[in-house]
Structure 1
Amino acid sequence: MYLYILVSIILTLLFAFGCNAALRKHAGSFYILAVLIILFEVIYYQTGLRDAAPEWLTQYIVNPFKRGALPTAMFIVVMYIGALDAKKTSVSKLMGIRGELSIIACILTLGHNIVYGQKHFVNLFTNPGEMKPQAFIAAIISLVMIAIMLPLMITSFTSVRKKMRAASWKNLQRLAYPFFALIYIHVMVLFVPKFSEKYLDIIAYTLIFGIYAVLRITKAVKTAKNNSPQLDYAENA
């Protein structure tokens, strides 16, 4: 079984480390590339190009974008960057492009929603009674995720962030946590009804998000202890 998410995480890490310097200096070019990928996705499926293309192109190149596996992998890397020790060299290197990675992930996610939304969003608003329960729930979750994702994406641009108060920006960015949780819920809603086919994907996603939750909570607890008044008093005594 081809686990798109694991392959996508590997590709994301290769991209993040290999294009680290270029992404810092020429982020705009990568954003434009992400938009062009979206346009290609739409053209690929709307013009019949999909039917004429070789199966390997669809299976191994287009599907990771269309299914949302690649942008999800980017979000996962962004998640883990925030949960790991920033003092480690590899984490510190990725921390410098965390915002850029999240913006690219958001753009590519919009492409995923455009391709699938042409059917499921249209049905949701015009004929919801004919939708399968999992498709109905997944479509609603997707709309909530888009509503959360767009402010996160916009405020991840450096030019926008500089115009915001630090406290306001930080509070808004906390919406990332429910967004990450909704990614997992969205995937489970779609995969659990197909358990016999998707059990490996279910295990992979559960491990990935479960380990992240443990790491993030552990880091938060340590940070709270280090910033506690009792510790400050003890250090100054």
Structure 2
Amino acid sequence: MEFLMVLALTCAVVVLANRSIHRSPWLWYGLACALDGLYLVGVAANFPPTVLRVLAPVVQQGMVATALFVIVMYCGVFSEQSPVRRIIGPIRAELSIMACILALAHCLNYLSSYIGVLTAHIEALTANQGASLVVALVLFALLGVLGITSAKAVKRRMHAITWKNVQRASYVFFGLIFVHEVLILYPAALKGTGSAASTLTASAVVFGLYAVVRIGRFILDRSRSAQAVAAEDLEEEVPRACVG
């Protein structure tokens, strides 16, 4: 259940540091870049295994980036008046950018291994590996689009409707993260690898629960919107009846 531990720790850091993230986002972007750089240098320079073992869930496995995306997406299912929305809502864009930065090293690390297989042993690429590569490339493209449009400077230059439509791609992105994890982990899980099976189970719970609450929130919002429209129509009809 390493992913759940990383998620819980990431949630705690975000809650405790939310004001700092809001006031000094570039400090946190720099920290994310530094972690990326430290891991990439560590791999190239053969850092001690203990150091790389600490950095692995943070950067290589992309767990912190995924945890940040989970926080951002789950924030949207809470009401505007909820404590979660008041704490996380103002820094959703900053958390998204931090997640994109941390995910970048993860993408580059595994992309290099895929390129090696494609250029040298493309015939050895299994159907599962091919599918995971396609999903990974789509995720990489969406990562760039969502990361760039999350920046406030870019958002201000975009039409509000266009920006909102682009950001809706985050639902596709979030779902594909789980698909990608399944494609990567299920072969090892089928062989009985404990860490793969537990991570896959934890991810299924987190992503599955989100799907349920997101659909529930959509239905609730539609119901409230319909009730508000009906109430407005009723208010307009009452004066007309009185005049008649």
Same fold, judged at TM 0.5 (above): yes
Moved more, 71-80 or 192-201: 192-201
| Number of the residue aligned with 1:100 | 94
5+ residue gaps, structure 1, are none
1:235 positional shift: 6.0
Report the 3-state secondary structure (helix = DSSP H, G, I; strand = E; otherwise coil) of the residue aligned with 2:223: helix
User: Which has the greater radius of gyration?
Assistant: 2
Matched with 2:242 is: none
User: How far 1:112 sits from its partner (Å)?
Assistant: 0.3
Q: Give the equivalent residue in structure 2 for 1:233.
A: 233
Q: Bigger relative contact order, structure 1 or 2, given CA contacts below 8 A and separation 6+?
A: 1
Give ranges in structure 2 of 5+ residues lacking alignment. Answer: 239-244
TM-score by length of 1: 0.90
Structure 1 residues 164 and 119: CA distance shift in structure 2, 3 A = same
Q: What do the CA deviations read for 1:124-182 (whole angstroms, capped 9, x no partner)?
A: 35542222433322122111001111111111011111111111110000000000010
Pairwise CA distance, 1:232 = 3.7
Change (3 A) 1:168 1:79: same
Change (3 A) 1:107 1:125: farther
Q: Contact conserved, 2:59 with 2:102, CA < 8 A, in 1?
A: yes
Tell me if structure 1 keeps the 8 A contact 2:96–2:147.
Answer: yes
- Could you tell me which of 135, 142, 149 is aligned with 1:148? 142
Alignment check: 8 A CA contact 1:4 1:64 kept: no
What code does the residue aligned with 1:129 have? E
Question: What letter is aligned with 1:121?
Answer: I
Using structure 2 for the length normalisation, give the TM-score: 0.88
User: Cα 1:203–1:235, aligned 2, differ >3 Å: closer, same or farther?
Assistant: farther
The residue aligned with 1:47 is: 45
Q: In the TM superposition, what are the counterparts of 1:26-105 in structure 2 within 5 Å?
A: 26-49=24-47, 53-55=48-50, 57-105=51-99
Contact 2:39 2:52 in 1 (8 A): no
Question: How many residues are matched?
Answer: 231
The answer to whether residue 112 in structure 2 is matched with residue 114 in structure 1 is no
Between 140-149 and 225-234, the greater mean CA deviation after superposition: 225-234
Offset at 1:71? Answer: 0.4
Q: 2:117 matched to which residue of 1?
A: 123
CA contact (8 A) 2:128 2:183 kept: yes
